Structure 1
Amino acid sequence: MKTTSIINVGLLGFGSAGRIYHAPFLNAYAGYRLSKVRTTSTSPEIHARELHGHTQVVTTSEAIFDDPEIDLVVVAAPNSLHHSLARQALEAGKHVVVDKPFTLTVAEADELIELAARHQRVLSIYHNRRFSSDFRTVRKVCESGMLGRIVEYEAHFDRFRNSIRAGSWKEDEGPGGGIFYDMGTHLIDQALQLFGLPEAVRADLRVQRTGGQSCDSFEVVLEYPNLKATLKGSMLAKEPFPQFTVFGDQGTFMKYGRDVQDDALRQGVVPHLGPDWGLEPENFWGRLNTQVNGLEINGIVKSELGNFGDFYRNIHGVITAGADLLVLPEEARDVIRVIELAEESSRQRRTLPFER
């Protein structure tokens, strides 16, 4: 446990993940000091306007690993580098946060979990969509019992981008590329949080765009004893689907609209603790149509407040005060296991039992 309240952070990677989803929260909360950022950009100074004056831009990971003042390393590099960079950080005695997906294989995840335990360091994965307004709302509805016994759940994470972004590692056919490792990881983690581990997995992973090399369309079904959870994502969804649809034996809940924090962060809005951060507009609120104690309920459900920064508030509490870790590495490893099974299911075109 760290004895002072300020956590010095080294951020590995300053692409979209590091620049948009990590640095703003690390800069916004007083308990963190973003000391160093490693970027492979040939002109690191271009990022100076987005960083505080005390942040040093470096071009090697070793400049962070070898710095005794760094307490926490955040890995926001391409997916194929997550395992090796996290391993080096743990071996250097640092606490570690890894952007999703945790690793590319369960074996890699297990190695990091064992290494963190051996070095008595905090290891967590940035499953920030647990802290989104839409998922918090769906979770509250599911746990309220107002739908009765839940029998079917469907979640979407869609975009419309019919062209291939040249030079993007996410568009390559290499390991960890494609939208399944990107958007699918969020949907799997959310489903496991709601329903636990499935009995079986079946999946259809495809490349649909002309010239595409990596998965740009997925449908994954998690099978439970009395429940089916369908997770879908597409890069060719020009008309919006509901983000979430939940069917129970007493009613239905449906919600459109993705969490508003994404657009705010991409526009450079600084996260804050005010009442309007993560607040969804009314046209994003979900609709509940159900029956409770014989009474029909058909109306709008106000969205819960979302805040990705709650992840980093928790990490601060874990490191400085011994709080309980909200995103356990074992849970993130289970997400990777579902990904492995989904890829194999799609190749074999059959349902596979869930086995760790």
Structure 2
Amino acid sequence: MNGPLRLGVIGCGNVLEAYRASIERLRGAGKVEVTCVCGREGQREAAVAGLRAGRFTTEAGAVINAPDVDAVLILTPMPLHASLARAALDAGKHVVVEKPLATTLEEASELLAVARRSPGELVCAPFTLLSPTFQAMARRIRSGQIGRPVSARARYGWSGPWWSDWFYKPGGGCLFDLGVYSLTSLTGLLGPATRVMAMAGVAIPEREINGRKVQVEAEDNAQVLLDFGQGAFGVVTTGFTLQQYRSPALEVYGTTGTIQMLGDDWDPEGYELWQNEVGAWQLYKETAPDWSWTDGLRHLVDSLREGTRPLITPEHALHVLEIMIKARESSRQGRALSIDSRFETPSFPGPAPAEAAHRMHDRSREHTGAGGGR
């Protein structure tokens, strides 16, 4: 691809603010120009000025079918993701869509069928696999530095949105909005899950949205247990019910060690590694503090310029969607359900990190009582 990618944006809500910085960096590097933006009429002035867009429209089709748009960035509410992405791919555009890929498996399967015959690439959030910290952890796991992974835990949650009620309506929920990050990260590290069992429900039945009371209809609290085969399991805690937390949000336990991400997987702060042969925690500080969870747009642009396929695949996004949908079914039925979809576990080129730890700390010496130690 020569010259800047001509980008059309659909959706001018809160998420666009996060993407604005990424778009500006890409524009400054001569890689992107925003030719068209779609939003509500009241968003026209801010959207055009903030993105330096060529024009504004209230019709999504005007972006999708525009001859001066190469790729479409979809930042709408979740229920619109699949239909807009499908239309853009049918029009031969590249697509970056926020999570989730779709809200039903039928929609997602149809979307993947369109993506396979379209000349456009389909890249779906979350983009946690793109962070340098995630990839360093993955390389260490793949190279056997903690032995065979047998258990994992991931968590993402907060007190919940107050600006829109669709998060709490059918098609929304904490799994689609938050749990999708943890599930993408765990499956990105450990590969496809084979079964899921979950508990999900409404813990806070009434919320205040922009000063008015709304009834919560989608789950706002969930625990998801995953079976990765060969006795390896993972658990995800997620919800609009977690006020604060400080412990690592992503941990993988192997037969000879442990690796854990500091910070959230969408905002990592480095990682810690325990290896039995070393006998101490090794701290590796964050190497890319400016990395953003909107990195999928940059990744698509670079993949097109370099002639490579994106690391983020729609098959992985479909697999995560199936886990979330069947987690809800599992909670209703009270039993484990099989996961049928599969994806190719991503590989991260290059050797495992060889740099020295920033700090060695034997925490086992702080816990010498029952249950402590290594």
1:133 and 1:209 map into 2 onto residues whose CA distance is 36
Matched ranges for 1:1-356 at <5 A: 2=1, 4-20=2-18, 22-29=19-26, 30-52=30-52, 54-132=53-131, 135-161=134-160, 165=162, 167-171=164-168, 173-175=169-171, 177-211=172-206, 212-224=216-228, 225-240=230-245, 241-258=247-264, 284-292=269-277, 295-305=278-288, 306-308=291-293, 310-356=295-341
Q: 1:58 to 1:315 in 2, by over 3 A?
A: same
CA positional deviation for 1:187: 1.3
Q: How far, CA to CA, are the matches of 1:38 and 1:23 in structure 2?
A: 15
Distance 1:185 1:105 in 2: 14
- How far did residue 259 of structure 1 move? 6.0
Seen in structure 2, the aligned counterparts of structure 1 residues 326 and 299 have a Cα distance that, compared at 3 Å, is closer
Per-residue deviation, 1:321: 4.1
> Considering only aligned residues, what root-mean-square deviation do their CA atoms show, in Å?
2.4
AA aligned opposite 1:312: L
Quickly say closer, same or farther: Cα 1:60–1:178, change in 2 above 3 A. same
Bigger CA drift: 108-117 or 316-325? 316-325
Opposite residue 238 of structure 2, the aligned amino acid is G
Q: Give 2:85's aligned amino acid.
A: A
Contact 2:224–2:327, Cα closer than 8 Å, also in 1: yes
What is the CA distance between 1:194 and its match in structure 2?
1.1
Deviations 1:24-67 (A, max 9, x none): 31231121111111112534213445222x44222111221231
How far does residue 203 in structure 1 lie from its aligned partner after superposition? 0.9
CA change 1:286–1:313 in 2 (3 A) is closer
* Shift of residue 325, structure 1, vs aligned partner: 1.8
256 and 310 in structure 1: CA distance in 2 versus 1, 3 angstrom threshold? closer
Question: Are the aligned partners of 1:220 and 1:231 in contact in 2 as well (CA < 8 Å)?
Answer: yes
Kept in 2: contact 1:7–1:71 (CA 8 A): yes
Cα distance in structure 2, aligned partners of 1:310 and 1:73: 15
For 1:299, the aligned partner's letter is Q
Secondary structure at the counterpart of residue 157 of structure 1: strand
1:201 and 1:18 mapped to 2: Cα distance?
33
Task: Provide structure 2 residue ranges, at least 5 long, that are not aligned to the other structure.
Answer: 207-215, 342-374
AA aligned opposite 2:218: S
Name the TM-score, length of structure 1 as normaliser.
0.83
**Compared CA separation, residues 310 and 285, structure 1 to 2 (3 A):** closer
Q: What amino acid maps onto 2:166 in structure 1?
A: W
Alpha-carbon distance in 2 for matches of 1:285, 1:325: 24
Task: Tell me: CA distance 1:285–1:90, structure 2 relative to 1, closer, same or farther (3 Å).
Answer: closer
CA distance in structure 2 between the aligned counterparts of 1:44 and 1:154, rounded to whole angstroms = 43
Structure with more relative contact order (C-alpha pairs < 8 Å, separation 6 or more):
1
CA displacement at 1:74 relative to structure 2: 1.3
- In the alignment, structure 1 segments of 5+ residues that lack a partner are 262-279
2:43 and 2:193 mapped to 1: Cα distance? 46
Q: Helix, strand or coil: the match of 2:42?
A: coil
Question: Which residue in the other structure is 2:367 paired with?
Answer: none
Count of matched residue positions in the alignment of Structure 1 and Structure 2: 325
Q: Is the 8 A contact 1:125 1:329 kept in 2?
A: yes
The offset of 1:133, in angstroms, is: 5.5
- Could you give the per-residue CA deviations for residues 148-183 of structure 1, whole angstroms, max 9, x where no partner exists? 22221001112134xx72643112x222x1111011
Q: Which region of structure 1 is more displaced relative to structure 2, 102-111 or 311-320?
A: 311-320
Q: Secondary structure at the match of 2:264?
A: coil
Shift of 1:13: 0.3
Mapped partners of 1:349, 1:86: distance in 2: 34
State TM-score, norm by structure 2: 0.79
Paired residues of 1:314 and 1:323 also in contact (CA < 8 A) = no
Q: Quick check: 2:257–2:274 contact (8 Å CA) kept in 1?
A: yes
**1:81 Cα offset (Å):** 0.6
For 2:259 and 2:116, how far apart are their aligned partners in 1? 41
